[in-house]
């Protein structure tokens, strides 16, 4: 079964410092991996995805993620954190089955990022 | 272009009642999925619909049902509400373009409180 794990409940970083939010995955076949961000009392916003190709994926708001097949990781990164980046971040993997293209996303438990001024 | 829109944004229901949540996908998107997010957890898959047909169902009881209309909008229905149904219900839509990796885009959600 496909799964993702986010080992950190919370990450604190000072404004201007680089940030990393960790995600590891377990899949059969090629992984389709995603990062979403959720601000308080809001829905989830798509940040970036890895399907194939370059291991470094660039996304919205200056975020990027590095796909590492040998370590089965897909960590979210940003070179310089902003206070406004403080939010809940979810890693997800797409699980597809059957012949009709049925799929669902499996989400991690989320990591709360706090950027301190 | 408008994103995924959901209604209502907040509602309070009593145990045993029924609720209907509505969703309009992004224009051109034909697939709609529903997720439940309980406080402190990641979203859990409830249903996927494509071209008005149910394509997938998560591990939820039969009290949960959904449908998709010819204009690709969707409704999620929950009968005999329990306290544990209190959650944020998220609708997501995706493009039929498989090359996009079936990226799903979420609405702002409907907050359901069961008392």
Q: What percent of chain B has pLDDT over 70?
A: 94
- In this predicted structure, what is the pLDDT of residue B97? 65
Q: Which own/partner contact pairs does B99-105 have at CB distance under 8 Å and 24+ positions apart?
A: B101/A32, B101/A49, B101/A51, B101/A94, B102/A32, B102/A94, B102/A96, B102/A101, B102/A103, B102/B31, B103/A34, B103/A46, B103/A49, B104/A46, B104/A105, B104/B33, B105/A46, B105/B3, B105/B4, B105/B26, B105/B29
Number of domains in chain A: 1
**CATH code for the domain in which residue A56 is found:** 2.60.40.10
Residues B99-112 have pLDDT tens digits of 666 789 999 999 99
- Give the pLDDT mean for B9-15: 97
**A100-111 pLDDT tens trace:** 778 899 999 999
Q: Please check whether residue A61 lies inside any domain of the structure.
A: yes
Contact between residue B32 and residue B91 where contact means Cβ atoms under 8 Å apart: yes
A90 vs B contacts (CB less than 8 Å):
42-43
Check whether B77 has a pLDDT greater than 70. Answer: yes
The pLDDT tens digits for A1-30 are 889 999 999 999 999 999 999 999 998 888
**Domain containing residue B55: CATH number:** 2.60.40.10
- Cross-chain Cβ contact B45/A105 below 8 Å: yes
The reply to whether A117 falls in a domain is no
Q: Which domain holds residue B46?
A: 5-114
pLDDT 10s digits, A65-80 = 999 999 999 999 999 9
Residue of B nearest to A31 (CA): B101
Interface test with B, best of A103, A108, A110, A111 (most B CBs within 10 A): A103
CA-based nearest residue in chain B for residue A38: B108
Tens of pLDDT, residues A39-64: 998 899 999 999 988 899 999 999 99
CB pairs under 8 A between A and B: 66
pLDDT at A103: 86
Q: Which of A111-115, B18-22, B25-29, B100-104 has the lowest mean pLDDT?
A: B100-104
């Amino acid at each position: 079964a496909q799964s993702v794990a986010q080992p950190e409940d919370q990450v604190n970083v000072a404004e201007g410092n680089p940030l990393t939010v960790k995600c590891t995955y377990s899949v059969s076949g090629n992984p389709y991996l995603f990062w979403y961000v959720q601000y308080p009392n809001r829905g989830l916003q798509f940040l970036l995805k890895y399907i194939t190709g370059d291991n470094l994926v660039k996304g919205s708001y200056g975020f990027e993620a590095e796909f590492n097949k040998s370590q089965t990781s897909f960590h979210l990164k940003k070179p310089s954190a902003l206070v406004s980046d403080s939010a809940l971040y979810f890693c997800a993997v797409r699980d597809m089955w059957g012949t009709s293209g049925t799929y669902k996303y499996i989400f991690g438990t989320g990591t709360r990022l706090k950027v301190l001024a | 272009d408008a994103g995924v829109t959901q209604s209502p944004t907040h509602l309070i229901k009593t145990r045993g009642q029924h609720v209907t949540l509505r969703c309009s996908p992004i224009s051109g998107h034909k697939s709609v999925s529903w997720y439940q997010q309980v406080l402190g957890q990641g979203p859990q898959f409830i249903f996927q619909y494509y071209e008005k047909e149910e394509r997938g169902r998560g591990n939820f009881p039969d009290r949960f049902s959904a449908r998709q209309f010819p204009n690709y909008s969707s409704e999620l229905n929950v009968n005999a509400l329990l306290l544990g149904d209190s959650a944020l219900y998220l609708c997501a839509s995706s493009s039929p373009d498989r090359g996009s990796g079936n990226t799903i885009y979420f609405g702002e959600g409907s907050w359901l409180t069961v008392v």
